Amino acid sequence: MSYLVLDRISKRFGGFSALSNISLSVERGTARAVLGENGAGKTTLMNVLFGLYRPTEGSIQIDGKAVSFRSPADAIINGVGMIHQHMHLAEALTVTENIVLGLGGLHSPLNLRRHSAKIAALSERYGLAVEPDQPVWKLPIGMRQRVEILKMLYRGAKILVLDEPTSVLAPNEIDSFLERVKALRDDGTTILFVTHKLDEVMRIADAVSVMRHGQLVAERDIGHTDVRQLSRLMVGRDVEPVRIPRLAAPGDPVLECVDLVARGERGLTALDRVSLTIRQGEILGVAGIDGNGQSELAEIICGLRKPESGSIRAGAAEITGLGVSARMRGSRIGFVPEDRHGTGLVLDHSIATNFVLRSFRRRPVSRLGLINARFIAEQARRMMKRYDVRSRSPAQPARELSGGNQQKIILAREIEAGPEILIVMQATKGLDVGAIEFVQRKILEARDRGVAVLYISTELEHVAEVADRIAVMHRGRFTGEVLPGQATAEHIGLLMSGLSVGEQR
């Protein structure tokens, strides 16, 4: 009998069935990849294994013994550890405090200094740089992910669940991290590696289970499969990247930023003399690891943040000193923010209301200060059709929609406002293949209408799919600019980690 057995697990949230009848057996000391698109139910399944969700049906056995986890504490006692996709960290506490939280008896003194030293040693050994005494809120996302990983490594576990652990690591960090995971497996740890990245599956796993729509659709030994087959199993069809050939050559410069300097938290330099130009009908892609100044750049261009120095021109107008609403109206900047839930939408308001967040002051959405509900409802229906927003009705709260549909609402609102400049951050993050394709198509169509697009993303492959030029950011600077199709992923990866090509040799 296998070491870990998940037996006919089902999980329903209200009426929605997130997992149906999933059975999985994993041998001791092997690495099992769990592959699936976003929304397939991977995290839900792992949360069941870690005691975060009680399964609606089904049971779990470890080492031949039936176990029932009422909480993560139960799972931890039974040797299960988990790295969470959406990090479970207390932001006001320091890195060390987060790592030692829950360890040892209640009365035991914390002895943070000793732990800090041990954590520093561990982070050195695993090549995961962190600052043990900093509060987590001050750290960039990538470093938080490393804290989440260290937290688990520090505890040790017999069964290790890794839920998309590499999503915010740099390419070179991913390599050494995967090596470490392999080493843990070779030491006898049983690994469940959740991902939607096919190459990681091939590199790390002994076997792979593929999930789609809450069901287990296939199981393969790594020796008996390949990337192409896995991709088809995961998506349910063959995928072709979108490519809309451009209609016209880029026109005159529309957005020009010169020597932008900005400070982030802790007064560190977030932008270090960044300059860029985007022409009419051109997409400038910005690639880079999260937290290297991309957010600050986007916020400064939209007017959400003030630069220390530098200037921004939109067309002929200097807009450096203008506020957000002036920029949105005057020079027509559209913004698809990184934080869909916090900045992009009012989650508890209806889809229809979310469509008019930009335009509610103006005719015909409102007249003499009164909202025109009928127009808003009609417009919502039109936009939902055009942008393929799937929901029961325009009155449904945005919170209830899937990530893809939420993103389409934001995109529709910003593009239909008719901007000359469109700033798009993490447009495709967390979306399924269908939604990614749709979002990219809409952005490319906007480009063809002459919009100048700044496309910022940490997902390099998606940047490469839509951008005309790719600028790579590291520590608040552009470390290089490449043309898609002419640079290897490796080359871009090096630029992302701040190494110029010369230093490589």
Partner 1 sequence: MSFLPDISLIAVLLASGVRLATPIGFAALGGVLAERSGVYNVGLEGMMLWGAFGAAAGTYLTGSPVAGLVAGVLLGAVAGLLLALLCVGLAVNQLVAGIAINLLCAGLTAFLARALFGLAGGGTAVSGFASLPVPYLSGLPLIGTALFNQDPLVYMLPVLVAVVTICLYRTQAGLRLRAAGESPRAADSAGVNVTAVRYVSLALSGAFAAAGGCHLVLCQVYIFSEGMSAGKGFIALAAIILGRWHPVGAVVAALFFGLCDALQLQLQFSNPLVPYQIFLILPFAASLVALVWFNKGARQPAATGMVFDREAR
Ligand X SMILES: Nc1ncnc2c1ncn2[C@@H]1O[C@H](COP(=O)(O)OP(=O)(O)O)[C@@H](O)[C@H]1O
Asked if residue 43 binds Mg ion (CB under 5 A), the reply is yes
Q: Which is nearer to Mg ion, 85 or 116 (CB)?
A: 85
> Between 88 and 362, whose beta carbon lies closer to partner 1?
88
Q: Which is nearer to partner 1, 103 or 248 (CB)?
A: 103
DSSP 8-state assignment for residue 349? S
Q: Is 47 in the site for Mg ion (CB under 5 A)?
A: no
* Contacting ligand X within 99-138 (CB under 6 A): none
Helix (H, G, I), strand (E, B) or coil at 136: helix
Task: Considering only residues 17 through 56, tell me which ones interact with ligand X, judged by CB under 6 A.
Answer: 18, 36, 38-44
Judged by CB, which is closer to ligand X: 96, or 195? Answer: 195
Considering beta carbons, is residue 16 or 64 the nearer one to partner 1?
A: 16
Question: Is 209 in contact with 201 (CB distance < 8 Å)?
Answer: no
Q: Which of 8, 54, 125, 237 binds partner 1 (CB under 8 A)?
A: 54
Residues 126-185 that bind partner 1 (CB under 8 A): 151
Could you tell me the smallest distance in angstroms from the CB atom of residue 114 to partner 1?
Answer: 13
Does position 105 interact with partner 1 (CB under 8 A)? The reply is: yes
Q: Which is nearer to ligand X, 54 or 361 (CB)?
A: 54
Residue numbers 73-102 binding partner 1 by CB under 8 A: 73, 76-77, 82, 84, 88-93, 97-98, 100-102
Phi, psi of 504 (to 5 degrees): -60, -35
CA-closest candidate to residue 485, choices 463, 503, 500, 457: 463
How far is residue 321's CA from residue 40's CA, in Å, rounded to a whole number?
45
Three-state SS string over 208-276 comes to: EEEEECCEEEEEEEHHHCCHHHHHHHHHCCCCCCCCCCCCCCCCCEEEEEEEEEEECHHHCEEEEEEEE
Of all helices (H) and strands (E), which one includes residue 502? helix 501-504
CB of 414 to partner 1, least distance (A): 25
Q: Are 171 and 92 in contact (CB under 8 A)?
A: no
Q: DSSP label at 88? A: -
Contact pick of 8, 23, 104, 306 for partner 1 (by CB under 8 A): 104
Helices 403-416 and 433-448, axial angle in degrees (round to 10): 10
Neighbours of 317 (CB within 10 A): 12
Using rule CB under 6 A, residue 484 touches ligand X: no
Residue, CB closest to ligand X: 43
Q: Is the peptide bond before 364 cis (omega within 30 degrees of 0)?
A: yes
Pick from 46, 25, 61, 40: which is nearest to 217 by CA?
Answer: 40
108 lies in the binding site for partner 1 (CB under 8 A):
yes
Number of Cβ within a 10 Å radius of residue 59: 13
Out of 66, 110, 326, 346, the only residue in the binding site for partner 1 (CB under 8 A) is 110
Return the number of the residue (41 or 303) whose C-beta is nearest Mg ion.
41
Residues that bind ligand X (CB under 6 A): 13, 16, 18, 36, 38-44
Residues that bind Mg ion (CB under 5 A): 43, 85
Residues that bind partner 1 (CB under 8 A): 13, 50, 52-54, 71-73, 76-77, 82, 84, 88-93, 97-98, 100-110, 151
